[in-house]
Structure 1
Amino acid sequence: MEPYLDTDLSPQNLLSPPASQTDTSIAILWDKSNNPIEVACYRIYVNGSIHGICRCTDYTITGLKPSHEYEVHVCTVSKSGVVSLPSATIKASTKPKAEIFDITAYGAVAVNETLNTAAIQAAIDACTFGGKVYVPEGTFVTGAIFLKSHMTLYVDKGGVLLGSDDPSDYPLMKYRWEGREQVCYASLVNTKDCDEGRLEGITIEGEGKIDANGTLLFKHEMAEKNGFRGRAVCLRSVDYIYLKDITVRQSPSWCVHLIYSNNISVNNVKIYTKSDEHGRRYKDVFNGDGLNPDSSSNVYIFNSMIASQDDCIAIKSGRDEEGRKVGIPSQNIRITNCAFKSGFGVAIGSEMSGDVRNVRVSDCTFEDVYSIATVKAPRGRGAVIENIRFEDCRLTNYSLEHEDCEWFRGAINIDQFYSHLLFDVDKAEEINDGTSIIMNIELKNLVMDTHAGNVIYLAGLPESPLQHIRLENIQAIGKYGHKAFNIKGLVMKNVFVQSREDENVKFHQVEHTDN
């Protein structure tokens, strides 16, 4: 019998996040113990036996049987090799074995210049409840395709869905674009609003690729200008979405856009919007966000990698009066164990007029990324951003492609003057429906080294100051140091900031400030 540690080292809050079960796998997440510094690894038990070990707080249990229920618990192993008391046990079930609908059986061929839209859509339309539309090895050129409820789109290893570069292959639709309902070109992979109500139970998985061919399509859509640019994947009004193991890349704008959707899991997904996997730059594309939950709730993003041209993850909820009228928040979002390789990190806003609340980002790495945390809500947006937590993250940025400007101010960047190059931090304006509130933001256990912009930039409005901002255990060096304007309730504990260029802030230590 192995000795047990104190319960303070037991994993907490074990769960299998929504939709994260396939016919052969179950994903699980948990919270670190109360004493994480002593943790060497975690053991994952399935039906009482060890299935595997890991050092992070997510694990995908593979090799399971379809239509089976499994009991799962997790134990911590300390650095001295002692095993903790187990977490609570959860039960989770795999899906039934899926009926396969191979797109080649419906006429799809992996031949250059052959458009496979009709064949792939025929496979989707034929797919039965719980079925799997299968994309085998090969590159299949297609225009817009439309998924339906209770199906899986499976792109196998070596398989590629490659978007056509002809705008006529993407019908015009009304989608949310930068916070407003507007006419857009359809995306490569879509859903349609339906008379029966909301869709549910959509999975996109496999080790293959969804490539929107954005470099060419961007040019053609911008030249034609019949609508705003499409995305690589745009799912709207869907409950229970699972994105697993897939690579999505080269979108003409935002890459993966999830609108009015709930109960979402994103597991081991790779997104490339700036360069491909080999570092070759996509030309001319802008608005290249990686993953955007938009007026969406109960979102779990874990074990994933995003190399972005713009925001890596941007959490949104509509823009200005229209966004406030729709009034659907983004909330209850957990981002853990992710790697960000370029772009602007995890952002909230600037379209956030339906509220954003309860966001947690932890145990993530940021490499040549400009900011760990950006919260942006310029005048006109209205609504509330609240209960946001960033913790246990590390940033190293040596890129100088962007420096201090109206779009980017710091490695920690909370900015209510976002998008304004010139502004007066002391000039108050009338409070109205467009006045935003930003409150209850906690940033803890962060290590940052950046050569671009400020280490910390906090700018509230004089008529609506930032409220209750807490910075704790932060070690950072940057081009510039720490700037703060218009804050009520700023607490800083064990914050060390060093500036490379600010003569008056070469080294700054703050234990506590409240103003």
Structure 2
Amino acid sequence: MPHPTTVVCQGLALALALGASLPAWALDPPTQLQVPTLAFDDQAIILVWQKPADHRLIKDYRIYANGTLLGSATANNDQVSPAKPYIDWFYEQDTANFHYRIGIHSYTAQGLKPDTQYRFTVRSVGADGRESADSIALVQRTTRPAPVFDVKQYGALGDGSHLDTQAIQSTIDACVPGCKVLLPKGTYKSGALYLKSNMTLEIAEGATLLGSERAEDYPLAGYIQYPYSSTVRPASLINALPRDPRKHQTFENIRIVGKGVIDGNGWKRRADTVDERGQALPSYLPSDNTRYMQDGVLAKAQVEQAVARGMNVKDAYGQMRSSLITLRDVKNVFYGGFTVLNPAFHGIMNLETENVVLANTTHMTYDANNGDGIEFANSKGAMVFNNFFDTGDDCVNFAAGTGADAVHQKPQEDAWIFNNYFRKGHGMVVAGSHTGAWIQNILAEDNVSDGTDAGLRMKSTHFMDGGARNVTFRDSALRNTVKQAFIFTLDYNDPNAKLDYKRSTVAGQFKDIHVSDVSVENAQGAAIEVKGDSRRNAYHQGLVFERVRFSGPAKARLAGLKDSRFDNVVFSETDGANPWQVSGSHGLTFEDVRPAPL
């Protein structure tokens, strides 16, 4: 007589074969339930989890605290995530059911009691409403209410015209460990501010931290990008840096939160864009090192200042503009809830950090030149979820140093990017162009994009060294990619880059990249573009594409690729042409690819 478990498994297999759905009791619970770094305070706790390996029939998740139902992940996401309305709109347009449906796997428990312990569990939910067993329980305590240091009590006016730098900095300096520096409703014009360990900076709803338009308000003794870099860059609007760049200083436990706005005041604004949902989005003048005089605000002032000191325009433009936020050597960072506008250079820079979380934020920097969303360099541990990106450059970018000396640096490693909406931007998830010390162990899943130049963008050069490896991009839906849905190239060139590093004799390489369960609608340019260099024996390798479908005119162009596999990759609009262009490559396997390569 067969074992009862065997009979059950055979019955499930037969039901699936006949097209029936699994009963809800067969759903697996989620795994790795956790609270992201510093993602809790005296009133709220954020939970995230990994979906189980077999998540095909999971429609939602329900969250319990001390055995009582709090709600569902999807309904909660409607309340807290600025990405969710755009994700919903995206799927409303998918009347042909072309796209992969993402899953939401976070929950913000709100209205909690201070200094109180909670026991959380999460259950998977099927289409019929039935639940799985509980996940492994997680116990988390809320904090005590933080001592509040209000910048107005230290002399900040918040009128948008007077410079409040000194008052805000005095508040930060007075802040005791565990305190909260509060910017209440108002507009606070400021130059560079310097945070310290064990503090929260809160920009309240209705408050704006507005960057000064004067170059002299950002000390030139800011930071150097890498140990071998030759240019000292100016401080950013918000910094966790030594005030003397010749000194080394570490920080820990910094939170930047609130429903307010951080505005870098970098560029002139042009007419707002009306987006696909009928919402007005800010838009800034696109510029370069020939047009900054008429386009820039702070960007103009800083480049002019550097040129007046004798720096050439190209280097001044590429090196001497302030980013919005720069943190270096910080362990444990949480960014949550605020809106980013108009940086003169990059958005949020995390250099040699550890355990950084970006959640529920809005980035509206389009089309500010170099206006990235968030960047990580030589850092370990990053989590990016529930964010809206509409940027002037890369949305989420990873870097690891340049050239021969980068081999002495730490790699950029361990990141999880999920449940974000990417609108404009050069790439959703980007590795490079600084790849010298390797970018590795990146998981991007359950994201939605409409209108970015690229989805997964990997870029390096013949003299950069390192590369990216062990990267997974899965369970996502893309529409209207402008240049490439997926690109892996050694031909990247930044016209503003200063080559102040020793070139390596080793080319960058992209290897062990796994793309699966992704839909790309109306792909323009290239669907998959690989640019290695077989003439120099510089191959990318170990690329695996599984269950990926494309519509639109885009084709696959593969050059300088080896030992890679394409399984169930489908092009639905080819007009009878072969969508595969392969050259200088070997060891490629194509299985169930439609149309098949010639």
Same-fold call, TM > 0.5? yes
Give, in whole Å, the separation in 1 of the partners of 2:118 and 2:529: 47
* Aligned-pair CA distance for 1:176: 4.2
Q: Is the Cα–Cα contact under 8 Å of residues 454 and 478 in structure 1 kept in the other structure? A: no
Q: Mapping of 1:278-357 within 5 angstroms?
A: 285-325=368-408, 327-344=409-426, 345-357=428-440
State the AA in 1 paired with 2:299.
F
Match of 1:26 in 2: 45
Count residues in correspondence.
484
497-506 or 155-164, larger mean C-alpha shift: 497-506
Q: Is the Cα–Cα contact under 8 Å of residues 388 and 421 in structure 2 kept in the other structure? A: yes
Match of 2:325 in 1: 233
Matched, 1:209 2:261: yes
Specify which of 140, 143, 146 is matched with residue 194 of structure 2: 146
Structure with the largest fraction of strand: 1
State the AA in 2 paired with 1:453.
G
Match of 2:541 in 1: 467
Q: Secondary structure at the match of 1:173?
A: coil
* Aligned-pair CA distance for 1:177: 4.3
* Aligned-pair CA distance for 1:174: 4.3
Match of 2:451 in 1: 368
Q: 1:59 to 1:507 in 2, by over 3 A?
A: farther
Q: 1:455 to 1:180 in 2, by over 3 A?
A: farther
Match of 2:288 in 1: none
Give, in whole Å, the separation in 1 of the partners of 2:26 and 2:237: 49
Q: Is the Cα–Cα contact under 8 Å of residues 287 and 309 in structure 1 kept in the other structure? A: yes
342-351 or 170-179, larger mean C-alpha shift: 170-179
Provide structure 2 residue ranges, at least 5 long, that are not aligned to the other structure: 1-22, 75-103, 268-296, 310-318, 496-502, 583-589
Q: Secondary structure at the match of 2:538?
A: coil
Q: Mapping of 1:264-279 within 5 angstroms?
A: 264-274=356-366
Match of 1:9 in 2: 28
Q: Is the Cα–Cα contact under 8 Å of residues 179 and 351 in structure 1 kept in the other structure? A: no
Match of 1:243 in 2: 335
Q: Is the Cα–Cα contact under 8 Å of residues 349 and 377 in structure 1 kept in the other structure? A: yes
State the AA in 1 paired with 2:399.
K
Match of 2:203 in 1: 155
Q: Which runs of 4+ in 1 moved over 6 A?
A: 506-509
Q: Is the Cα–Cα contact under 8 Å of residues 223 and 241 in structure 2 kept in the other structure? A: no
Q: Is the Cα–Cα contact under 8 Å of residues 180 and 318 in structure 1 kept in the other structure? A: no
Give, in whole Å, the separation in 2 of the partners of 1:348 and 1:94: 36
**How high is the TM-score relative to the length of structure 1?**
0.88
Matched, 1:64 2:116: no
Percent identity (aligned): 27
* Aligned-pair CA distance for 1:5: 4.0
Match of 2:132 in 1: 84
Provide structure 1 residue ranges, at least 5 long, that are not aligned to the other structure: 275-281, 404-409, 422-430
The structure with higher relative contact order (CA 8 Å, sep 6+) is 2
* Aligned-pair CA distance for 1:432: 6.2
Offset from partner CA, 1:220-249 (integer Å, 9 cap, x none): 112222662111111111000000111111
**How high is the TM-score relative to the length of structure 2?**
0.77
Offset from partner CA, 1:409-433 (integer Å, 9 cap, x none): x111111222399xxxxxxxxx965
State the AA in 2 paired with 1:18.
T
Q: Is the Cα–Cα contact under 8 Å of residues 179 and 323 in structure 1 kept in the other structure? A: no
Q: How much is the aligned-residue C-alpha RMSD, in angstroms? A: 2.6
Give, in whole Å, the separation in 1 of the partners of 2:226 and 2:205: 33
Give, in whole Å, the separation in 1 of the partners of 2:38 and 2:440: 22
Give, in whole Å, the separation in 2 of the partners of 1:137 and 1:12: 40
Q: 1:18 to 1:420 in 2, by over 3 A?
A: closer
Match of 2:54 in 1: 35
197-206 or 48-57, larger mean C-alpha shift: 48-57
Q: Is the Cα–Cα contact under 8 Å of residues 499 and 507 in structure 1 kept in the other structure? A: no
Match of 1:185 in 2: 234
Give, in whole Å, the separation in 2 of the partners of 1:116 and 1:32: 46
* Aligned-pair CA distance for 1:103: 0.4
Offset from partner CA, 1:128-161 (integer Å, 9 cap, x none): 1100000011111111101000000001100000
Give, in whole Å, the separation in 2 of the partners of 1:138 and 1:179: 39
* Aligned-pair CA distance for 1:110: 1.9
Specify which of 241, 244, 250 is matched with residue 198 of structure 1: 250
Specify which of 38, 42, 49 is matched with residue 68 of structure 2: 49
State the AA in 2 paired with 1:46.
A
Rg (Cα) greater in structure = 2
* Aligned-pair CA distance for 1:464: 2.6
Specify which of 143, 163, 172 is matched with residue 220 of structure 2: 172
* Aligned-pair CA distance for 1:53: 0.8
Structure with the largest fraction of helix: 2
Q: Is the Cα–Cα contact under 8 Å of residues 146 and 180 in structure 2 kept in the other structure? A: yes
Specify which of 480, 485, 489 is matched with residue 559 of structure 2: 485
